[in-house]
Amino acid sequence: MLDKFTDKNILILGAGTSTLDAKWENLDYDYIWTCNDFYISDRLANTKIDLITIGYNTDIENENFLNRLRKDNPMILIEPHHYREKVHSQELKEFSSKFDVYWVDIPLNSIAGAAARLVKLALMCDAKNIYFAGVDGFNKEFTNKHAFTKHVGLKDTDTRREYSIYHEGFIKCFEQYLEDDYSKLQNLGEGYDYNNGSEISKKYFPLRSDIHEKIK
């Protein structure tokens, strides 16, 4: 089902702030992948989405969400482990009967979130180039925005409250990318104070000067 992405340029847009700050629309890409609450984002409003992954917090009965799926007709992925107790829910059964839903297990052990796992999936698909924004984390002051909802900093429901947890978590995430052909990766959030994986990408797959010029 994922064969069509082999040797293609994939742009992955997560909920981190660099999805707002990087001018990713200037890049040469074949497909866009994203996740969860992407349909709320003004930044993605006029962008055709080709693949999404959704988690247990995604409101799959939201009419705006459903209308966006009908418009773009993306491939829809669900990771059973990350869908938690809702994996057997009636709402998911009804949703799956209306759309083409695929179940996947992406082998990335990380707190970095859905878009970070999509980066791993693109590596597994042997994509040609993998550009990703919104796989960031937080700055030390927790003042950066959620790219989709525009919420600033941590949510009241977030149980992890220390910057070090996120910084170390994203470092460990990026280190797992090194198990694959990481030369294909371009971290569009590299260099921003909220991009916790920058020290890994700068060392192993630094942002190319031509890409930086296009997105700055």
pLDDT bucket at 154, cuts 50 / 70 / 90: confident
Mean pLDDT of 180-187: 98
Per-residue pLDDT, 100: 86
3-state secondary structure of 54: strand
Bridge partners of residue 34, in order along the sequence: 52
Residues 6+ apart with CB under 8 A from 184: 123, 127, 128, 129, 130, 205
Confirm whether pTM is higher than 0.85.
yes
pLDDT bucket at 110, cuts 50 / 70 / 90: very high
**Mean of per-residue pLDDT scores for the chain:** 94
User: What DSSP designation does 80 have?
Assistant: H
Rounded Cα distance, 110 and 141, in Å? 22
Q: In what order do the strands lie in the sheet with 51-54?
A: 101-103, 75-78, 51-54, 31-35, 9-13, 129-133, 185-187
- pLDDT single digits (tens) 35-57: 999 999 999 999 999 999 998 88
Task: Select from 16, 71, 51 the least CA-distant residue to 127.
Answer: 51
